[in-house]
Chain A
Amino acid sequence: MGPFLLRRIVNYLVLITIATCLGYLLAAASLNPREHFAQRQPPPPAAVVDRTLDALNLNDKTPLPERFGHWAGGVLTGDLGRTIDDSPVSAEMGRRVGVTVRLVVIGTATGALAGVALGFVSAIRQYRPSDHAVTFLSFLVLSTPVFLLAVLLKIGAVKVNQAAGTTLFPYTNETTPGLSGGWLHHLTDRAQHLVVPTLSLMLGQAALFSRYQRSAMLDVLGADYIRTARATGMRRGPALVKHGLRTALIPMATLFAYQMGLLLTGVTFTEKIFGWHGMGEWFVDSINRADVNAVAAMVLFTAVLVLIAGLASDLAHALLDPRVRV
């Protein structure tokens, strides 16, 4: 188990490094910070712009390899550079990472669990009305891009709030600004704010997992070992869960790593639409501001999260399938 995980970690570290470098190079090559300054009113003199760009390591007159070397040297010592507004990237990132991680972790966990449960139920009740309903709904959700889903959920929240007469599901910001009261009050406030944004991530996740879980479970249902388990006198429910579900969960572990990138894409929309000031929102704003260093930070963040998801899926794989532990 140890050497297996170690091998994976080394592999992931190499991938993170390459991905982040690639992200920086792409951003530096395609974004144009000079234009950002030129658009200011009144336009600053060229010499000032040059000096500012030089200070931020964003000057397009410096050759790309040199800028890259400067940036990479900084990253190695833990310095992610400065944003285009001349504040440290790390500080801004520190503020925002927590927001995104909260959203991602809760969305992933609830979505995957709900999807597995739905897939399990619709597989053992194949071709019943419940199966058809789950299949149709998951198709519907999978056909709805996250931004559309988020906006529809927002409209739904407004309708619910109107019907309830109070703000049952607030849909902007992470907390109510200027809220007073005890910690319990704060906690409920946060939980209320989480509901709608989490749903927008969770639904897609659940739909995807339910599709895969259903087909994996159907493959397992006819297996000999299930029949053997039943023949030993085990009842259907326990046999399906203990012998069936465990085997059918193995491909889900792989899927878990695969969809992390997808989920992080979704987070961008969720944050932007629900006004959460996380990494995703920062990424979109940074591209529009041609803020190369901030964009590279988002790429790094994404790569690290995907690595964690990959490791978690390797771990789950090893726990579920003894053959992997060598």
Chain B
Amino acid sequence: MAAPETDFVVAEEDTAIPPAEPVALSRGRIVLRRFRRRRLAVAGLVILLFMFALAFIGPHLNSWGYKDKDYENFLTGPSATHWFGTTQIGSDVYAQTLRGLQKSLVIGLLAAVLSTGVAGVVGATAGYFGGWADRVLMWCVDLLLVLPSFLILAITSPLFHGRTWLLFVILLAAFNWMVTARMVRGLARSLREREFVTAAEVMGVHPLRIITRHLLPNMASLLIIDATLNVGGTIIAETSLSYFGFGVQPPDVSLGTIIADGTDSAMSFPWLFYPAGLMLILTVMAVAFIGDGLRDAMDDAAGTASGSGAGAGS
């Protein structure tokens, strides 16, 4: 009993050292520490990591590919060979669902990062320069308000039929950046008045360099939070479009197409529908919790972000 006790004392002495010597914690450390205290956010992160693992490692655990067909099993329930059962044409639901999850995750992630990137650059440009650039941006945002992006994407969907799905990602991002850009613009306008920007201007730093080196890094937390929350939004947008056949095209699958195929038989053959539905809800919810936790953890900048977001409509 003696050994653990001495260990314990040593450990206590170790943890007691930092307060005695007040080392400033780096911002990343502070955020990480605050984030770890949010149970829901940590749970969200664990779920999301699990989903990624499932989507990329999961398919290798089972011998069926998402394009394979088992001509001896049509519409059979979950079993040892087909973990989530089979479809009307003998496809393995487990393989298909994981392939769909993979597609939805990758598309959501790429489109979200792309859209936040565009929003950051455009919003900061508009906010920093003001004038006509600013007015054009506001018009785009107002136009988006009148014309929901779902309609635009659905209308333009025939353009990427038979082309690569990367085009779909680009279009998803292209009609998603406007509202964030508005928040970034608000933030950029207030940052523009700060001393370090004035100092840079006086020293003759190029405007583009001011935007990339001084404005954008100062909104990093807003952009990170926004990109995270966007992942959920773009996953919903992608699955919604795919549900109607306007998104991911067969033979490839996404969670949206799987749910669409399973809808009619959800009552009699639940395995066609519930795995994909459950994964979709869990993923989007995990992302939402992470975003929320990040917002709380990066509190100082989030205050301005939500403030300008609420007032953005007038």
Which of A's residues lie within 8 Å of B, judged by CB?
12, 15-16, 18-19, 22-23, 26-27, 30-32, 139-140, 142-148, 151-152, 155, 158, 212, 215-216, 251, 254-255, 257-258, 261-262, 264-265, 268-269, 272-273, 283-284, 287-288, 290, 295, 298-299, 302-303, 306-307, 310, 313, 317
Contact = CB atoms under 8 A, between A and B. Distances in A.
B73 interface: no
A158 B267 contact: yes
Nearest to A317: B314
Nearest 10 CB-CB pairings of A with B: A254-B313, A261-B148, A143-B285, A143-B284, A265-B150, A19-B146, A19-B147, A251-B310, A145-B236, A30-B159
Interface residues of B, dominant DSSP? helix
Contacts of A273: 263
Contacts of A272: 244
B62 interface: no
B46 interface: no
B201 interface: no
Contact of B288 (A23, A143, A148, A290): A143
Contacts of B159: 30
A158 B309 CA distance: 41
B143 A145 contact: no
Contact of A255 (B142, B232, B313): B313
A144 B147 contact: no
Contact of A139 (B143, B147, B289, B312): B289
Contacts of A26: 152, 155-156
Given A147-B259, A151-B259, A303-B146, A27 B155 contact: yes
A215 B309 CA distance: 13
Residue from B144, B263, B313 with most neighbouring chain A CB atoms (10 Å): B313
B142 A15 contact: yes
Contacts of B281: 140, 143-144, 148
A18 B147 CA distance: 10
B230 interface: no
29 contacts: A12-B146, A18-B143, A22-B143, A23-B147, A23-B151, A26-B156, A30-B157, A30-B159, A139-B289, A145-B239, A145-B240, A147-B260, A148-B277, A151-B273, A152-B277, A212-B310, A254-B313, A261-B146, A261-B150, A272-B244, A284-B244, A287-B155, A287-B157, A287-B246, A290-B158, A298-B151, A299-B147, A302-B148, A317-B314
A289 B267 CA distance: 30
Contacts of A19: 143, 146-147
Nearest to B246: A287
Interface in B262-294: 263, 266-267, 273, 277, 280-281, 284-285, 288-289
B127 to A, nearest CB: 20
A317 B146 CA distance: 19
Nearest to B150: A265
Given A151-B266, A258-B145, A307-B146, A31 B155 contact: yes
A251 B314 CA distance: 10
Interface of B: 142-152, 154-159, 232, 236, 239-240, 243-246, 256, 259-260, 263, 266-267, 273, 277, 280-281, 284-285, 288-289, 306, 310-314
A278 to B, nearest CB: 15
A255 B158 CA distance: 32
B186 to A, nearest CB: 14
Given A215-B306, A264-B148, A139 B155 contact: no
Contact of B259 (A27, A148, A255, A257): A148
A67 B12 CA distance: 80
A212 B306 CA distance: 10
B145 A306 contact: yes
A254 B158 contact: no
A31 B277 CA distance: 31
A258 B313 contact: yes
A258 B147 CA distance: 11
A255 B310 CA distance: 8
A212 B312 CA distance: 14
Contact of A30 (B158, B240, B245): B158
B147 A303 contact: yes
A269 B147 contact: no
A30 B156 contact: yes
B158 to A, nearest CB: 5
Contacts of B246: 287
Contacts of B311: 251, 254
Contacts of A16: 146
Contacts of B236: 145
A257 B142 CA distance: 11
A22 B147 contact: yes
Contacts of B243: 145, 147, 269
B151 A283 contact: yes
A68 to B, nearest CB: 15
A142 B288 contact: yes
Contacts of B240: 145-147, 265, 269
Given A30-B158, A287-B246, A140 B313 contact: no
A298 B243 CA distance: 19
Given A151-B259, A284-B154, A15 B146 contact: yes
Residue from A146, A255, A268 with most neighbouring chain B CB atoms (10 Å): A268
A23 B277 contact: no
A151 B314 CA distance: 36
A146 B285 CA distance: 14
A165 to B, nearest CB: 17
A30 B155 contact: yes
A7 to B, nearest CB: 12
B262 to A, nearest CB: 9
A104 to B, nearest CB: 13
Contacts of B157: 30, 287
Nearest to B244: A284
Contacts of A317: 314
